[in-house]
């Protein structure tokens, strides 16, 4: 009788042991599945709420950008058209031949900074808070009279590290003319027609250089056009691009002086910002008035604000604003502040 029970007990023991192994295996699979699912979910949540280098966070809507620029930038039809067309071509090409590089030139208050702000806020969902937007201010970041080895390493490291992070990074160089030629030339390889440099692709990046260089020549050219009876809209990029390029490369003491970026034709477009006429200043005044809640302001009050600004070429022909739209907001505050107090 006991002998007959031995196989049965053994079988039960194997069955129990097998069940425990099965439970262990199933439990392990369950934990692994939960871990994998949690990992996938954490990645998805991270991609939703944390900025990434993809189309969800970096995107161009050409029609919308054009609309915003036309609504907020006054009198700079050449700049708006040039920037929009080149940006569109750059983003539509999955394999651009080189990085996109704009060189903005013009006097104070003509819209160089304004257009840059609009571009950044449109292209990058996080705007200037984006980890892919990088601002270099010459007088702050490279204040030395002579370019040092450390300066070159610093700039080279900035470009390379940020492009590794995101190939569609944008680099804005304010006061670019105050950078030394040696330092500006450091950028040449990154703007050139290379497939890659050490397996890093720079061709999708955007570089914007802001400069007052060529401002006086653009002003004189604009005055000559005006005296010849030509309207602002009759001027095109071809009329001015060569003037900017020639002025920039021949400006001794400027970062553009005999620059490799210019001599090797690595600037995609030299973008002229023309002196602002009184008509555009009036648009700026209305814009700031409405932004501050002053709607339907009478024309005599707008004229009073405009009279606070300096125009040239002379007292009789007050055609162009010396400061563009740059001081309009403070003059609006000054005049309307007096009105509110009375």
Residue 159's domain is classified under what CATH number? 3.40.50.300
According to DSSP, residue 196 is labeled -
According to DSSP, residue 144 is labeled -
Tokens describing residue 9 = 């007990």
Most confident of 67-76, 125-134, 140-149, 308-317: 125-134
pLDDT digits (tens, 9 = 90+) for 49-77: 799 999 999 999 999 999 999 999 998 99
Q: Is residue 91 part of a domain?
A: yes
Question: What mean pLDDT value characterizes the chain?
Answer: 86
Do 333 and 207 share a domain, yes or no?
no
Do 247 and 328 share a domain, yes or no?
no
pLDDT of residue 21: 63
pLDDT digits (tens, 9 = 90+) for 141-185: 998 767 888 999 999 999 999 999 999 999 999 999 888 888 999
Does residue 13 register a pLDDT over 70? no
The residue out of 273, 288, 303 marking a domain boundary is: 273
pLDDT of residue 35: 65
pLDDT of residue 180: 86
Do 241 and 303 share a domain, yes or no?
no
Number of other CB atoms surrounding residue 226 within 10 Å: 17
pLDDT of residue 9: 52
Residue 162: domain span: 62-273
Please name every residue paired with 270 in a beta bridge, in sequence order, or none if there are none: 103
Q: Is residue 34 part of a domain?
A: no
Higher-pLDDT residue of 9, 230: 230
Cα gap 174→327, rounded to integer Å? 19
Q: Is residue 17 part of a domain?
A: no
Global pTM reads 0.83
Mean pLDDT of the region 245-265: 81
Q: Is residue 294 part of a domain?
A: yes
Q: Is residue 41 part of a domain?
A: no
Do 204 and 86 share a domain, yes or no?
yes
Closest CA relative to residue 177, chosen from 130, 112, 132, 117? 112
pLDDT of residue 25: 67
Contacts of 298 (CB under 8 A, 6+ apart): none
Q: Is residue 15 part of a domain?
A: no
Cα gap 32→38, rounded to integer Å? 10
pLDDT of residue 248: 79
Higher-pLDDT residue of 258, 77: 77
Burial label, 293 (beta-carbon count in 10 A; 0-12, 13-18, 19+): exposed
pLDDT of residue 1: 45
Q: Is residue 212 part of a domain?
A: yes
Do 268 and 290 share a domain, yes or no?
no
Tokens describing residue 178 = 């105050």
Domain count, the chain: 2
The residue out of 226, 252, 273 marking a domain boundary is: 273
What percent of the chain lies above the pLDDT cut of 70? Answer: 85
Do 252 and 196 share a domain, yes or no?
yes
Do 171 and 152 share a domain, yes or no?
yes
Do 163 and 244 share a domain, yes or no?
yes
pLDDT of residue 190: 97
Higher-pLDDT residue of 67, 3: 67
Does residue 227 register a pLDDT over 80? yes
Do 242 and 313 share a domain, yes or no?
no
Do 258 and 287 share a domain, yes or no?
no
Q: Is residue 173 part of a domain?
A: yes
Do 224 and 104 share a domain, yes or no?
yes
Do 236 and 311 share a domain, yes or no?
no
Strand blocks (E) in 290-341: 311-313, 318-321
pLDDT digits (tens, 9 = 90+) for 21-53: 656 766 777 766 766 665 555 554 555 679 999
The residue out of 255, 273, 291 marking a domain boundary is: 273
pLDDT of residue 118: 98
Cα gap 222→274, rounded to integer Å? 7
pLDDT of residue 39: 55
């Amino acid at each position: 009788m006991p002998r007959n029970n031995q196989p049965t007990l053994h079988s039960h023991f194997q069955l129990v042991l097998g069940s425990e192994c099965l439970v262990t295996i199933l439990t392990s699979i369950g934990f692994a599945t939960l871990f994998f699912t949690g990992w996938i979910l954490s990645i998805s949540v991270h991609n939703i709420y944390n900025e990434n280098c993809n189309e969800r966070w970096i995107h161009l809507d050409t029609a919308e950008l054009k609309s915003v620029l036309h609504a907020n930038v006054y009198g700079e039809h050449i700049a708006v058209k040039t920037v929009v067309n080149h940006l569109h071509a750059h983003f539509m090409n999955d394999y651009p031949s080189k990085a996109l590089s704009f060189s903005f030139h013009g006097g104070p208050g003509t819209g160089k900074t304004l257009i840059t702000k609009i571009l950044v806020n449109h292209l990058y969902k996080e705007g200037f808070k984006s980890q892919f937007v990088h601002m270099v201010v010459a007088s702050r970041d490279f204040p030395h009279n002579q370019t040092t080895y450390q300066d070159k390493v610093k700039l080279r490291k900035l470009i390379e590290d940020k492009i590794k992070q995101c190939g569609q990074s944008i680099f804005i160089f304010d006061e670019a003319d105050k950078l030394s030629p040696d330092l500006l030339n450091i950028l040449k390889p990154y703007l050139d027609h290379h497939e890659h440099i050490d397996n890093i692709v720079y061709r999708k990046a955007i570089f914007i250089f802001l400069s007052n260089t060529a401002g006086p020549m653009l002003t004189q050219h604009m005055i000559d056009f005006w005296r010849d009876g030509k309207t602002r809209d009759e001027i095109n990029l071809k009329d001015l691009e060569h003037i900017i390029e020639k002025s920039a490369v021949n400006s001794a003491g400027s970062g553009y002086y005999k620059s490799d970026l210019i001599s090797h034709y690595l600037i995609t477009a030299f973008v002229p910002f023309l002196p602002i006429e009184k008509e555009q200043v009036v648009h700026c005044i209305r814009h700031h008035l409405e932004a501050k809640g002053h709607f339907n302001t009478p024309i005599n009050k707008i004229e009073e604000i405009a009279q606070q600004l300096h125009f040239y070429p002379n007292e009789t022909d007050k055609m162009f604003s010396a400061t563009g739209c740059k001081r309009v907001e403070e003059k609006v505050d000054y005049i309307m502040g007096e009105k509110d107090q009375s």
